[in-house]
Amino acid sequence: MFTGISTNTGTIKNITKGTNSQYLIESNMSLTNIKIGSSILCSGICLTVTKKMNNKFLVNISEETLKVTTASNWKIGSQLNLEKSLKYGDKISGHFIQGHVDTTGIVKNIRIIDKHWILDIKCKSKFKKYLIEKGSISINGVSLTINKVLKDYFQLSIIPHTLKLTNLINLKQGSIVNIEFDIFNKYYNNLSN
């Protein structure tokens, strides 16, 4: 479980393709308390640390994860948002995120208003039931609030502080992002069907 408050980024240093592709990630994030088998949220995807050395760690990504996330577009030099998993007693400033990406979306438009970014993101229409104005959503592992839900897209506002600490600053029109909808909203929708 994660909160979507990403204060670290990492850079992909090596990729070994295969049935379970391996990605080597370098970061200034402290790995002291990270054990082999620990989970790290990597741009919205919960991945398991299989090896660590100094300021680098190795993760495997399955074929299924590559199919449903942006990981298939990652390359050497790609920047990822990173977050360690919650531990008992941690402060929760964002919202509960599992790291189980529901779908991807495409950035339709970016407007900059007084250093704030207004993002319009389109996703498949079957997911519209999970979009609630003023509700939470995870974009590339970052906890954000939905400003508006329109006919074929939704709108987010990103403050300069979040842009400074995450890879969202690299988004442009046409960028693909990982989306995880609010877990409570998903459970509620499942129970009411």
Distance CA 106, CA 155 (A): 12
Q: Quick one: pLDDT at residue 110?
A: 98
What are the boundaries of each domain within the chain?
8-84, 103-191
Distance CA 99, CA 101 (A): 6
Burial of 88 (C-beta count, 10 Å sphere; 0-12/13-18/19+): exposed
Q: How far is CA 188 from the centre of its chain?
A: 22
Rounded mean pLDDT of the chain? Answer: 93
Assessment of whether the complete model's pTM goes beyond 0.85: yes
Terminal alpha carbon distance of the chain? 26
Q: Considering the domain 103-191, what is its CATH architecture? A: Beta Barrel (2.40)
Residues of the chain with pLDDT under 50: none
Q: Quick one: pLDDT at residue 193?
A: 64
CATH class of 8-84: mainly beta
